[in-house]
A and B are shown apart, each in its own frame.
Chain A
Amino acid sequence: MSAIAKQSKAAGKKRSKSQETWRRFKKNTRAVVGLGIVAVLVLCAVLAPILAPYGPNEQNPRNRLQGPSAEHWFGTDELGRDILSRIIYGARISMSVGLIAICISLIGGVALGAIAGYYGGTADNIIMRCMDVLLSIPTILLNISIVAALGSGLQNVMIAIGVSSIPGYCRIVRASILSLRDQDFVEASRAAGASDFFLITRHILPNCMAPLIVQATLRIGAAILSCASMSFLGLGIVPPTAEWGSMLSTGRDFLRDAPHVCIFPGLAIMAAVFSMNLVGDGLRDALDPKLKD
């Protein structure tokens, strides 16, 4: 028996890093639940035409503002469109806005923060003062001005939302790097012949993943909502298009008589944010070798 145990242990040792991370991720029930919800949402987005019982823009004025029923599980909105179908189609836009905007701000914020934190001095001053300028402008105003400059449309909204949340990531990364930059292991790697780029990407950034993952997963919800408010202002997604945020904002007018018009898109946004958060937390723990087993 001990031979078998030994063998399985030896096999366990040979697992690659990603397998090892997955193994630890699986142990975390909440994270797996989160991943399940994310998977469902992604599936909705991909398979929308197959899954949705009605078309997203199919109007039926006779059935307007109906509550949930067997025909329309989530009820209908003010134009008699099926809310479930609109949520399923909306997943396409909302999820992609959330993810792409976060990617833009992550890439920009991490790169700028890393340069500012690692090199310090003048580079730090220039970058951080620019970030301060961005931070001093209210987010919505900044979004509006970027979209106004680039022209409206989904793509530009994503860029606007991404750019306006760069400062948050930039500050997080800079702060982490300031504390990591002078660590002995960084100096040791430099003494072993590593270049600055190598040091930052291989040694410093992996050590500041935890706050980044948490920030990124939390900001996905904020990005979806920003996109909604942009749509509400007429700068983002044009009305007939199904999008969770804009469904929420049009539903506001009927909140007293037909709350379900708001509740279901709201729940969808909540599910997206919540599940991303769970996945983020799980990922953070699975990637931290000190919390191993």
Chain B
Amino acid sequence: MMKTLRHKQIQFWVYISILFLFPVLFLLYKSFTLPMRYETHLHAHFTMQGWVTLFSENQLIQATFVSLGIGAIVVILNLIVGLTAGYALAFYDFKGKSLLEALILFPIIIPLLAITIGVHIAMIRLGIADTWVGVVLIHLVPTIPYAVKILRNGYTSLGTAILEQAYVLGPDPWQRFLSIDLPLLKPAIRSTIFLTFVISLSQYVITAIIGGGNVVTLALVFFPFLNSANSTVLAAFSIWFALLPFLFYILIELLFLLLPYQKPWRTRS
């Protein structure tokens, strides 16, 4: 039994290295070297130029914090909508449920640009265009569908039985949510947080239009450089961009450690 697990682990890391680790390491390598010439012999020109360019971008640090802040609020709103709707969709049957599920997907199906342009005028009239509130709202459009779907699936795989047992614990729904639902749903919640944060972070056009340049997120600084033939600079920017959700993820993991009833549920495999 132990042996197969060990074997599996090795197999897993081989696959993962080829599929995911190698490309990322290659990108990291690119960020420190000049573009290679095909005919020349195998040796790399080391350079810090990519990273120097990155940090000489004077809006970088501020934009990074703006992105973190907006991402955090988007994540919280996503959890609120996702947990409530996910619960209803998983445990109740009602008329028009299938239609509602398809409707929730709509924001992914319709090109965001079309939605954004329509919403923009309404936002200007409401006075929330050019503000972080508007940007947060528009970031909900490409994220909520994922949150609802993931959390709904999380609830479904828990099954009703386990939540029924929880009724024994007492009538306070909030207490029940904190001590039963939340720890059990942790994998789904973790996925939601991670995914919605990443999606929010990488929104460029909709942030530019709704934020009107008043809200400068990291995407606004980063995306114009994508149109550059300089792979060194592009690679450095991309790595920095990817570090942000990584840091956010670690922060969330630390928060999770503070949750009640941590151990008993975790060790079950």
Do they bind each other? no
